Amino acid sequence: MTAKFILILLIGIFLLAINVNNIVAQSVNTKHSLQIQWDNDFINIREDGTDRYYTNGMRIDYFYTKKQKARFPSSLLLNISEDNNNIYGLGIAQFMFTPKNIAVTDIQYNDRPYSGALYSIHSLQSVDRIIKTKVTSDIRFGVIGPISFAEETQTWAHRVINSTKPIGWHNQVPNDIILNYNISIEKEMLKPSKKILLVGIIETFSGTIYNAAGAGFMLRVGKFNNYFDDISAPLITQKNKSQLYVFMKPVVRVVLSNALLQGGLLNRISHGNTGYVLSKDQIERIVVLYDVGISFEQPKYSIAISQKSIGAEFKGQYTQEYGSLTMHFKF
């Protein structure tokens, strides 16, 4: 319990340190919003939830704009806008992963380890409207392992819905630190009409939890505002009051390491593993991700539902499908 209290305190201090410079500036902010994203393998159009691999994820972000010059740690994020066309974010997320059979207490060798992550996020979305480019960068700080509360969260949820109790969490990936810096670059590639948009994507992940690089594209079809317009403008200036479009986003990644499979960096250095982890030879180095869905947006709120798939992340894994629900409230 002491370790968990220390974790909560550390994440709280990190978020407070980021937010101190923003409290004074609230009066000049022009846009605020709250976004909630929930992933679960039972949100599945095939209606065949599996309760395996990536089984649940929750992320909550508060987005805001600010006029003053960015200070540390915001100054570490990538700003490409010459007209302050930026949106900052503060968030917290929890994710959990399990092997195929959660009703087995013993280690399931050659299967996915039990693992969980809990971390805070400080992000920046920065747009250059001239070259039609958007850069999203974020810093993530938190932990993996038992002090991520993944076991408690899944056990509680399964008790509430009267589902199978997961009994193998004592074998999970051990405690370690998350400190990651992630970058996503989106560039308009093709816009043959107001209802079709093709955007190229390059992404990188660097740090203690996930090291990878990827490339792909995003396709939107329907009624939507310009993706690279002034994202920090007041809501009343938006051209379309209602937006409805479908989207797809395939990405291919080259993966160097994944602590949720292999254990964290500090644990690997000290050889202090007490849980079950995979070796580097068991990791798949090429992973294909796919996301397709529909989004409905109003000036004050939006909702998006999508179906996602992840190719094998380790040798012997099945491709996994899961659903994602994202709600965004603007004020």
Span 163-181, average pLDDT: 93
* Residue pair 323/44 in contact by the 8 Å Cβ criterion: yes
Span 111-117, average pLDDT: 95
Higher model confidence: residue 21 or residue 197?
197
* Residue pair 290/201 in contact by the 8 Å Cβ criterion: no
Give the model's confidence band at 48: pLDDT under 50 very low, under 70 low, under 90 confident, else very high.
low
pLDDT higher than threshold 60 for residue 30: no
pLDDT (tens digit per residue) in 178-234? 999 999 999 999 999 999 999 999 999 999 999 999 999 999 999 999 888 756 655
pLDDT (tens digit per residue) in 224-262? 998 887 566 554 445 668 999 999 999 999 999 999 999
Residue for token pair 């929890």: 94
The residues that bridge with 281 in the sheet, in sequence order, are none
Q: Phi first, then psi: give them for residue 273, nearest 5 degrees.
A: -60, 130
How many alpha carbons lie under 13 Å from residue 163 in its C-beta half-sphere?
A: 14
pLDDT (tens digit per residue) in 273-325? 578 999 999 999 999 999 999 999 998 999 999 999 999 999 989 889 999 99
Cα(143)–Cα(123) distance, rounded to whole angstroms? 18
According to DSSP, residue 273 is labeled: -
Tokens of 1: 């319990």
The total number of structural domains in the chain stands at: 1
pLDDT higher than threshold 80 for residue 50: no
Higher model confidence: residue 45 or residue 275?
275
Q: Please report, for the domain that includes residue 200, its CATH number.
A: 2.40.128.140
Q: What residue numbers bound the domain in which 34 lies?
A: 2-330
The residues that bridge with 143 in the sheet, in sequence order, are 118, 177
The DSSP code sequence of 26-92 is GGG---EEEEEEEEETTS-TTS-----EEEEEEEEEEEE---SPP-TTGGGS----SS--EEEEEEE
Q: Phi first, then psi: give them for residue 185, nearest 5 degrees.
A: -115, 125
pLDDT higher than threshold 80 for residue 11: no
Specify the pTM: 0.87
Span 56-61, average pLDDT: 96
Q: What is the per-residue pLDDT for 31?
A: 76
